[in-house]
Structure 1
Amino acid sequence: MLTFIFVDYKSGEATLNCIAHYIKKCKKSPAEISFVVVDNSVDDGNFVKLSSAYSTISITEYDGSVLEEKNVDGYRLLLWKNTSNAGYGKGNNAGAKIAGEFLGSDYLIFTNNDLLVLDDTLSVDTLITETEKPNVAIVGPSIVGKDGRPQNPYFEKNFFLRWGLDNLCYPLARFLPKKLTSGDLQENFVQNPVFRVMGAFFLIPRRIFEEVGCFDPNTFLFAEELILSRKLHDRGYVTHYVPAVHLLHNHSEIINKNYDFSKRLMLRFESESYYYKNYAGVSSVQIFVVRMILKSYIFRKKICKKIKSLFKKV
């Protein structure tokens, strides 16, 4: 059993569309497929939208809330209403647990609801077959953004290069050599293994996911796959990139609507700082210094933006 896991936050329509899209693209797949949706929205409106879209097989209580089993064109779907917005990691951990307890899932695909399959079919069997190679845990496909630029795979970046130097040099950071910038995208893929793939869509055997303790629950948003990749590497597992499977990341605006640029940047920084401190040995002093650099960068960026707007008015 292969289970797609969604964590939804006030984007029920996008989740419904994505599920329908995956079903269409998986019709020819020999794999047995199911879905788990964890609704992190808290408000009832989003849950009602998700629930009313499908016929109900059963309703039960699970972990203090409602768990509904649905029939979606012959596929099983479990919809669970979370009692709080616990974040991406905890939400997906709950989804994985439900998949194991109620569906007996062998493989999990963690996916955002803003992905489109570019191939005629979503070749999940290709992804599953890749995990049969020695020590392979995570498998990720080719993902491009709306601009056509690749978003997979990634290498591990030094903390100061990832967060310090670029921001320290702003607004002159554009003159830095590429290897000294914050980017961690591995643009010229040569061979596997890679350090990590994008968290928007990847496959992992459930037993391995549970073996390493699932997603670290201490980050709310961002860096979940970064931490998971490190935990797997420390256990001797590797990540493989499969460029033969193609998806488009049609970036959702949900995060942008709820967090402005500064808040998104600081939220990502705090999550990645947690990773660097707890999994990569970076000291609290280093993190404090870089945090000050980042706050200074945000201030300088706002000043530059105001100056540009003044020149436009002249």
Structure 2
Amino acid sequence: MKIVFVILHYHAKEETIKSVASIQEKTDVEEYKIVIVDNASKDGSGEYLKKKYEADEHITVLLNEQNLGFARGNNVGFRYAKNTWDPDYIVLMNNDVYLLDDDTVSKIEQEYQRSQFAVLGPMIYTVDGRCNINPIRLQPMTKAEVEKEIRIYSNKQKLYHYHLDTLRDFYRRIRPVKKKKSYKVFIERMEHVQLHGCFMVFSRKYTEKFDGLDDRTFLYREEAILYKHMCENSLNCVYLPDIHVFHREDASTDTIVKTDRERVIFEISHHLKSLNVLKKVYESYEGSGGGK
């Protein structure tokens, strides 16, 4: 098998159907499969998709009994693809991501011949017109930076717990936060960078060493954890702007939390939990002197 696309699904079935259609239309090889992992959707959409695609030999729908979060949910599909077909490439993609190129697989293969990448990320277009969310970082965070982020999110959590966010918003209106300068690194191909998690291609360089993502998080910071593992294991993460995808962003999260305040509290809580996992990853490498 050449390539397997793993789509993590939670509610938002129309987005998943569009994502599947883009793969069927744009994939430039016959040796491909699609694995849809339903992360215990409560609206029956997992069963709907299983029935919809049951006659399609290219598509398998797996139904999780509980919501496993991003990393563990993706790993269900990753391991199924690896153990069933042992493909050259496994793609983990959100259910609101669509392929835009007619030669995506050809470009992936050409890049692998060039760099022997472990993980590959594309240029990502978004609803608001941006195309610069990849790469996320050009250098890994230091442990001190991780600890600073933990303090920042701990303070944010207290802010919302005591309903002080309205005071903060008022202060920002009278004294706006300065925006950081944005550099156009996204137009250039780059190696050894941190990639966005909505669409990642894993080659045999990765699958021979790892059996999926680090699954200690529920949501957020998976990219930073992955990047640290890649750096410590001398594996290459390549950003290739010649490949293009569209990401609608937060389609599944929109079905979990309804109000802006609920959304922010949800995000802060899970960012904080994941940052503490990231800190443990850093400590494990510092303690062992490297390695997996």
1:102 aligns with 2:102: no
Q: Confirm or deny that 1:142 pairs with 2:123.
A: yes
- Give the match for residue 300 of structure 1: none
Measured in 2, the distance between the counterparts of 1:215 and 1:14 equals 23
Tell me whether 1:272 sits opposite 2:275 in the alignment: yes
- Hey, what does 1:195 align to over in structure 2? 193
Q: Secondary structure at the match of 1:16?
A: helix
User: Match for 1:251 among 240, 249, 252?
Assistant: 249
Q: Distance in 2 between matches of 1:138 and 1:186?
A: 23
Partner of 2:207: 209
2:12 matched to which residue of 1? 11
Partner of 2:96 in structure 1? 114
Cα displacement (A) at 1:144: 2.1
Cα displacement (A) at 1:11:
2.6
Q: Secondary structure at the match of 1:116?
A: strand
What is the CA–CA distance in structure 1 between the aligned matches of 2:86 and 2:126, rounded to whole Å?
Answer: 33
3-state secondary structure, aligned to 2:113: coil
Aligned match of 2:135: 153
CA distance in 2, matches of 1:133, 1:25: 23
Q: Identity over aligned residues, as a percent?
A: 25
CA deviations 1:144-171 (Å, max 9, x no partner) are 2111112110113433665656978x65
1:230 partner amino acid? K
User: Is residue 4–residue 87 contact of structure 2 (8 Å, CA) maintained in 1?
Assistant: yes
Deviations 1:29-61 (A, max 9, x none): 1362111111112548222210121244xxxxx
Counterpart position of 1:297: none
Give me the whole-angstrom Cα distance separating, in 1, the residues matched to 2:213 and 2:87. 17
Within 2, Cα distance between the matches of 1:186 and 1:153?
A: 11
State the alpha-carbon separation in 1 of the partners of residues 179 and 43 from structure 2.
50
Does the CA contact (< 8 Å) of 1:106 and 1:207 recur in 2?
no
Which amino acid counterpart does residue 101 of structure 1 have in structure 2? Answer: N
Counterpart position of 1:46 = 45
In the alignment, is residue 90 of structure 1 matched against residue 72 of structure 2? yes
Contact 1:140–1:201 (Cα < 8 Å) also in 2? yes
Q: How does 1:277-288 map to 2 (within 5 A)?
A: 277-281=279-283
**Worse overlay, 96-105 or 206-215:** 206-215
Correspondence list, 1:116-131, <5 A: 116-119=98-101, 121-131=102-112
Structure 2: where are the runs of 5+ without partners?
157-167, 258-262, 285-292
Could you tell me whether the CA contact under 8 Å between 1:42 and 1:83 is conserved in 2?
no
Q: Which runs of 5+ in 1 are unaligned?
A: 57-69, 180-184, 283-314
SS of 1:136 mapped into structure 2:
coil
1:209 & 1:3 partners in 2: Cα distance?
13
Computed over aligned residues only, the root mean square deviation of the Cα atoms, in angstroms, reads 2.9
Give 3-state SS (helix, strand or coil) of 2:50's partner. helix
Deviation at 1:257, TM superposition (A): 3.2
Distance 2:150 2:250 in 1: 24
TM-score for both structures, normalised by structure 1: 0.72
Superposition TM-score, scaled by structure 2 size: 0.77
Q: Is the 8 A contact 2:3 2:89 kept in 1?
A: yes
* Residues 79-106 of structure 1, C-alpha deviations (whole Å, 9 max, x = no match): 1111211111111111111112222322
Structure number having the greater strand percentage: 1
